[in-house]
Amino acid sequence: KNAISVLMQCFAIACIVSVAWVVYGYSLAFTEGNAFIGGTSAFFLSGIGRDTLAPGTTMPHSLFVIFQMTFAIITPALVVGAFAERMKFGAMCLFSLLWFTAVYLPACHMIWGGGYLADVKDFAGGLVVHLTCGVGALVIAIVLGPRKGFPSTAMPPHNRTMVVTGAAMLWVGWFGFNAGSSWAADGLAGMAMLVTHISAATGALTWMAIEWIKGGKPTIVGIATGMVAGLATITPASGSVGPEGALLIGLMAGSICFYATQAVKGVFGIDDSLDVFPVHGVGGIIGIIMVSFLGVQGGFLGSSAGEEWIPMEQFLIQLKGIAVIGIWTAIASWVILRLIGSFTSLRVSEEEEYEGLDVTEHEERSYDLT
């Protein structure tokens, strides 16, 4: 009774962020500004034509714009998983636009746009994507409160076959994010793709094994979630570790993220519906930290070629990135929610929640009752 609403939310976010990215997002993320946000020189993609090249590269500028747009789209879309089945569609649209503007763009500029955190090693989005969406998801889950019946009532996904289908699409699509971040069809891209796959498989098997031991049976939802944890955790390190490092990162992802999900729901009673914070947020943090020790300079667990850094020095830089992005995301997310909540309702009524958002928000159903 909420399947259409979640699909609608993600579809709408893709459209909203795409337009915002063209109008002002790309410019604020990647043009020269200050340490925290870019400038206005590329509003409406001004100066970006068919034959222009992205700064410092030999690739078409348009290719750089659209590739980075996909990161901008997926990040607020991931947050949807935290408030599934209980947020009003209009409030969701407004929140996503404001959150993209106030959280994603500064984070992107600070790390990838040459800003305040340019020294942080985040190859494909451990902080820019996964920590921001994870912390944002945690805040909104706390502010909205749990779904009715949580945690006493079981709330499994309505269609596990679609869970596997979506997980498979994520697994393959992730190669584009991580390998594509090398900006070339070269050895770096090949190694990034290889370690991404290794970490995903290891994370999935680790999660499955723990679930099997603790619960007596392995589940398809569990192994798929472990795969996502492995993908999220390898993301920041995919450009600097080798196969051995990917095995360790996948093992850490499957185990640490598993227990993080238990803690968020069971210990703290937070209804993060799709475990966005414990899988993406915690996974992103693990990956960011492990870059320091498993990356090029560390080398002892199969690093790939690239620049060098001193592990402990880089570790402190990575911690600074986690703190700055995490704290800013938490504050900005809370302020945005309070601002929206001051003039409109964030959450559907109890009756609407019982009826389901497919009907109450969109007058549609994912199945025909007749």
pLDDT at 370: 56
Q: Which secondary-structure segment (H or E) carries 343?
A: none
* pLDDT digits 0-9 by tens, 13-24: 999 999 999 999
Q: Indicate whether 301 pLDDT > 60.
A: no
* pLDDT digits 0-9 by tens, 305-350: 456 788 899 999 999 999 999 999 999 999 999 999 999 999 999 9
Mean per-residue pLDDT, 357-363: 93
Task: Report the percentage of the chain scoring pLDDT > 70.
Answer: 96
Within 8 A by CB and 6+ apart from 269, the residues are 146, 151
pLDDT at 58: 86
Structure confidence at residue 117 as a pLDDT band (50, 70, 90):
very high
Please indicate, yes or no, whether the overall pTM of this predicted structure exceeds 0.75.
yes
Task: Report the percentage of the chain scoring pLDDT > 90.
Answer: 88
pLDDT at 104: 98
Core vs surface per residue 151-187: b (16+ CB within 10 A) or e: eeeeeebeeeeebeeebeebbeebbebbbbbbbeeee
Structure confidence at residue 303 as a pLDDT band (50, 70, 90):
very low
* Cα 196 from Cα 191, distance rounded (Å): 8
* pLDDT digits 0-9 by tens, 76-94: 999 999 999 999 999 999 9
* pLDDT digits 0-9 by tens, 207-247: 999 999 999 999 999 999 999 999 999 999 999 999 999 99
Structure confidence at residue 299 as a pLDDT band (50, 70, 90):
very low
Q: What beta strand segments (E) does the chain contain?
A: none
* Cα 32 from Cα 41, distance rounded (Å): 8
Q: Indicate whether 173 pLDDT > 60.
A: yes
Encoding tokens for residue 325?
């992005």
**147 vs 78, 90, 307, CA distance in Å?**
18, 19, 47
Distance of CA 339 to the CA centre of its chain: 24
pLDDT at 133: 98
pLDDT at 307: 65
**Burial (CB count <10 Å: 0-12, 13-18, 19+), residue 253:** buried
pLDDT at 347: 97
What is the separation, in whole angstroms, between the first and last Cα of the chain? 15
Question: Which backbone phi and psi does 185 adopt, to 5 degrees?
Answer: -90, 75
Mean per-residue pLDDT, 71-77: 98
Question: Which backbone phi and psi does 307 adopt, to 5 degrees?
Answer: -70, 160
Is there a contact between 87 and 348 (Cβ–Cβ < 8 Å)? yes
Q: Which secondary-structure segment (H or E) carries 308?
A: none
pLDDT at 157: 86
pLDDT at 306: 55
Q: Please, which residues bridge with residue 60 across strands?
A: 53
Give the chain's mean pLDDT. Answer: 94
Mean per-residue pLDDT, 101-128: 97
Q: Indicate whether 296 pLDDT > 80.
A: no
* Cα 59 from Cα 275, distance rounded (Å): 37
* Range scoring the smallest mean pLDDT among 10-19, 143-152, 297-306: 297-306
339/56: higher pLDDT: 339
Structure confidence at residue 300 as a pLDDT band (50, 70, 90):
very low
Mean per-residue pLDDT, 56-84: 95
Is there a contact between 334 and 276 (Cβ–Cβ < 8 Å)? no
Q: Indicate whether 266 pLDDT > 60.
A: yes
